[in-house]
Amino acid sequence: MPIIDILERNAALYGNDTALVELNPAIIEPRRVTWKEFELIEPRRPNYYRREITWKVFNEKANRFAHFLMSRGVKKGDKVGILLMNCIEWLPIYFGILKVGALAVPLNFRYAADEIEYCVGLADISVLVFGPEFIGRVEELVDTIGNDRMLLYVGQGCPGFAESYDTLTANCPSNTPSVLLTDQDDAAIYFSSGTTGFPKAILHNHESLMHSCKVEQAHHGQTKDDVFLCIPPLYHTGAKMHWFGSLLTGGKAVLLNGISPSVILEAVSSEHCTIVWLLVPWAQDILDAIESGKVTLSDYELSQWRLMHIGAQPVPPSLIARWRKFFPNQQYDTNYGLSESIGPGALHLGVENIHKVGAIGKAGFGWECKIIDENGDPVQRGEVGELCVKGPGVMTCYYHDEEATKQVLSADGWLRTGDMAREDEDGFVFLVDRKKDVIITGGENLYPVQIEDFIRSNPKVKDVAVIGLPDKRLGEIAAAIVSIKEDCSCTEQELNKFCEALPRYKRPRKIIFADVPRNPTGKIEKPKLRVMYGADKLVAEQNQG
């Protein structure tokens, strides 16, 4: 059944129970702050700006937005973009879009204006919903995307080039719209990319979304009494699809806008959270804060915290060994997936398999997996090949990109992940390397070609290659190997200053002045660079244990 039916059921059965809580670390006035500000907030015992809604109100808000969209001519099959930081409006807006039969299209909050413009065009977005953090970027695009698209603003102080979401939806009907949906109807477009620059648009149907609910609940055993702490941004499949387990059981979820150790621990304590999904850097920061004495575990009520799980990047076994010293009674799990397979859960370790930390696990609930060679034939156990997955959560296609779809999706439903892997004697899968050159830093994808193209615009640069190097906290960092023109001189400080024009998360963390090797066809030999500069050490750490 379509996923919107679960929301309707929850409103009927658990109408007065809390569905969502938004927590912002307290600042001068109640407002949403930027991600940079979140990272800087580190009070010992933070206070929060807090909002909450019940399942009944959640459903009514979704219905009001759906009716508003329909009143403006939005219909089944149209696309509505969401460009918001985590907030209590995010999910009702998402479900309001689905209730119309339109497609929800979440956008990465880190996108620069040109990336927003590209994605709006690629996905055929006709309505863009955005928040206060994006006024500047959207304003840059008004002349190019604003003339034939509806711009809706969520928050105080609506800019003149947009319309107010709050004002327009306040008096809309709260009953359920009469729109017939099936499992095979298109539901959402998410964005991903390889190394070729701008993202691809990944199309999923309602069956995919519903399957992710079942997978998450089957893997982590959510009940109505569980409280899920959601920290990652909701545009990311890894955040929303983990929350879908709470949706399926009617449990409470807490949307936390903050990633410092004290902010996370205080949220777990004050909201009695039982399940927390972390990225590797956040888990490492919590451990470092405990070991340095910056936080004291006895200050918090953490006995109810039963499960910590990690995804989005390889997990060092040493990290989990450290974690279990401080949280010996907690269950641990890791999940593997990609946006093309509706996020996490295509493979998972399982809480009962702690002895296999380092593996990404086995095929998840309702999933199949196999490892193939270059000819598409299964490899022998222990041999390295490309990991493929198959199940109800596989994407329909890359929207508007038939050729790219054919490259990764077979006629019988197998999805090539682009990840190289091996299976051990017990059937557990270990990632070995990535076919693609995407750099995963703190759970976010960096696309080397974009960074390389920018650095090459420096008149002193002859050539450049960007690769990922191992980093204890972030998993990987972007390193730029730069070749300078013979008649020029350039310092690391000068290049770092030049790169300040890039978004902060795209800036190389390391500059190496050296020749850039290319093969006879002109392609950069990145495997050689990874060996030269130690990127292979990351693979060794992933496979230890």
The total number of residues shown for the chain amounts to 545
Tell me if 235 is assigned to some domain.
yes
Judged against a pLDDT cut of 70, whether residue 522 lies above it is answered with no
Tell me if 336 is assigned to some domain.
no
Judged against a pLDDT cut of 50, whether residue 62 lies above it is answered with yes
Tell me if 344 is assigned to some domain.
no
DSSP β-bridge partners for residue 348: 335, 362
Least confident of 16-30, 223-237, 272-286, 347-361: 16-30
pLDDT value for 137? 95
Sort 462 into a burial class: Cβ within 10 Å, 0-12 / 13-18 / 19+: middle
Judged against a pLDDT cut of 80, whether residue 535 lies above it is answered with no
What gap in Å lies between CA 318 and CA 482, rounded to an integer? 33
| Closest to 264 in 3D by CA, of 291, 236, 289 | 289
Q: Which two tokens stand for residue 125?
A: 């977005």
Which ranges in 272-415 belong to alpha helices (H)? Answer: 280-292, 317-326, 402-408
Q: Which two tokens stand for residue 122?
A: 């690629």
DSSP notation for 157-219: S--TTSEEHHHHHTTS--SPP-----TTSEEEEEEE--SSSSPEEEEEEHHHHHHHHHHHHHH
Residue entry with tokens 């992933």: 542
Least confident of 342-356, 492-506, 508-522: 508-522
Residue partners of 475: CB distance under 8 A and separation at least 6: 280, 281, 313, 314, 440, 441, 442, 443, 538
pLDDT value for 224? 97
CATH of the domain at 532: 3.30.300.30
What gap in Å lies between CA 51 and CA 92, rounded to an integer? 14
pLDDT value for 418? 87
pLDDT value for 411? 93
| Closest to 130 in 3D by CA, of 101, 96, 164 | 164
Of 412, 434, 456, the last residue of a domain is 434
pLDDT value for 333? 93
Tell me if 347 is assigned to some domain.
no
Tell me if 346 is assigned to some domain.
no
pLDDT value for 58? 98
pLDDT value for 462? 82
Q: Once rounded to an integer, what is the mean pLDDT over residues 6-29?
A: 87
Least confident of 71-80, 286-295, 313-322: 313-322
Least confident of 2-6, 107-111, 245-249, 439-443: 439-443
Indicate if 313 and 366 belong to the same structural domain.
no
CATH of the domain at 412: 2.30.38.10
pLDDT value for 313? 65
pLDDT value for 314? 66
Indicate if 372 and 482 belong to the same structural domain.
no
DSSP β-bridge partners for residue 424: none
Q: Once rounded to an integer, what is the mean pLDDT over residues 430-438?
A: 72
Q: Is 43 helix (H, G, I), strand (E, B) or coil?
A: coil
Beta pairing class for 415-423 and 385-390: antiparallel
> 520 versus 134: which is more confidently predicted?
134
Q: Once rounded to an integer, what is the mean pLDDT over residues 65-88?
A: 96
What gap in Å lies between CA 309 and CA 229, rounded to an integer? 11
Residue 34 and residue 134 in contact, taking contact as beta carbons nearer than 8 Å: no
Q: How confident is residue 519, by pLDDT bands cut at 50, 70 and 90? A: low
Q: Name the percent of the chain lying above pLDDT 90.
A: 65
What gap in Å lies between CA 4 and CA 10, rounded to an integer? 10
pLDDT value for 520? 43
Least confident of 70-84, 98-112, 446-460, 467-481: 446-460
Indicate if 114 and 61 belong to the same structural domain.
yes
Q: Once rounded to an integer, what is the mean pLDDT over residues 8-29?
A: 86
Helix axes 237-249, 206-220, angle to 10 degrees: 70
Residue partners of 169: CB distance under 8 A and separation at least 6: 61, 64, 65, 68
Indicate if 104 and 174 belong to the same structural domain.
yes
Q: How confident is residue 28, by pLDDT bands cut at 50, 70 and 90? A: very low
Question: For residue range 211-250, what is the model confidence (pLDDT) as tens digits?
Answer: 999 999 999 999 999 999 999 889 988 888 899 999 999 9
Judged against a pLDDT cut of 80, whether residue 30 lies above it is answered with no
Structural domain count, the chain = 3
How would you write 1-12 as a 3-class SS string? CCCHHHHHHHHH
Greatest alpha-carbon span in the chain: 74
Q: Which two tokens stand for residue 216?
A: 């998450």
Judged against a pLDDT cut of 90, whether residue 419 lies above it is answered with no
pLDDT value for 251? 97
Of 311, 326, 341, the last residue of a domain is 326
Indicate if 388 and 509 belong to the same structural domain.
no
Indicate if 128 and 249 belong to the same structural domain.
yes
Residue partners of 129: CB distance under 8 A and separation at least 6: 80, 81, 82, 83, 84, 93, 152, 153, 154, 165
What gap in Å lies between CA 265 and CA 229, rounded to an integer? 10
Tell me if 253 is assigned to some domain.
yes
Q: Once rounded to an integer, what is the mean pLDDT over residues 515-543?
A: 66
Indicate if 417 and 443 belong to the same structural domain.
no
Question: For residue range 380-397, what is the model confidence (pLDDT) as tens digits?
Answer: 999 988 999 999 999 999
Judged against a pLDDT cut of 80, whether residue 513 lies above it is answered with yes
Of 434, 452, 479, the last residue of a domain is 434
Indicate if 119 and 85 belong to the same structural domain.
yes
Q: Is 113 helix (H, G, I), strand (E, B) or coil?
A: helix
Q: Is 324 helix (H, G, I), strand (E, B) or coil?
A: helix
CATH of the domain at 267: 3.40.50.12780
Look up residue 382 and give its amino acid. G
Least confident of 265-269, 304-308, 391-395, 430-434: 430-434
Indicate if 228 and 301 belong to the same structural domain.
yes
Judged against a pLDDT cut of 80, whether residue 44 lies above it is answered with no
Look up residue 66 and give its amino acid. A
Q: Once rounded to an integer, what is the mean pLDDT over residues 346-369?
A: 93
pLDDT value for 541? 46
pLDDT value for 37? 42
Helix axes 261-271, 280-292, angle to 10 degrees: 90
For the chain, report the end-to-end CA distance as a whole number of angstroms. Answer: 42
Residue 206 and residue 3 in contact, taking contact as beta carbons nearer than 8 Å: yes
Q: Name the percent of the chain lying above pLDDT 70.
A: 91
Q: Once rounded to an integer, what is the mean pLDDT over residues 349-354?
A: 92
Question: For residue range 160-212, what is the model confidence (pLDDT) as tens digits?
Answer: 999 999 999 999 999 999 999 999 999 999 997 543 457 899 999 999 999 99
> 524 versus 307: which is more confidently predicted?
307
pLDDT value for 194? 43
Residue 263 and residue 238 in contact, taking contact as beta carbons nearer than 8 Å: no
Tell me if 143 is assigned to some domain.
yes
Indicate if 255 and 369 belong to the same structural domain.
no
Judged against a pLDDT cut of 70, whether residue 98 lies above it is answered with yes
Q: How far is CA 445 from the centre of its chain?
A: 9
Tell me if 337 is assigned to some domain.
no
Sort 232 into a burial class: Cβ within 10 Å, 0-12 / 13-18 / 19+: buried
Q: Once rounded to an integer, what is the mean pLDDT over residues 503-513?
A: 91
Q: Is 332 helix (H, G, I), strand (E, B) or coil?
A: strand
What gap in Å lies between CA 229 and CA 297, rounded to an integer? 18
Q: How confident is residue 435, by pLDDT bands cut at 50, 70 and 90? A: low
What gap in Å lies between CA 377 and CA 335, rounded to an integer? 25
Residue partners of 440: CB distance under 8 A and separation at least 6: 312, 313, 446, 468, 475, 476
Residue partners of 491: CB distance under 8 A and separation at least 6: none
Residue 511 and residue 496 in contact, taking contact as beta carbons nearer than 8 Å: yes
Judged against a pLDDT cut of 90, whether residue 456 lies above it is answered with no
What average pLDDT does the structure give for the chain? 88
Indicate if 426 and 288 belong to the same structural domain.
no
Strands across the sheet containing 510-513: 461-471, 475-484, 510-513
Q: pTM (2 decimals)?
A: 0.82
Indicate if 235 and 379 belong to the same structural domain.
no
What gap in Å lies between CA 294 and CA 308, rounded to an integer? 21
Q: What φ, ψ does residue 249 adopt, rounded to 5°? A: -100, -5
Residue 151's domain comprises 4-326
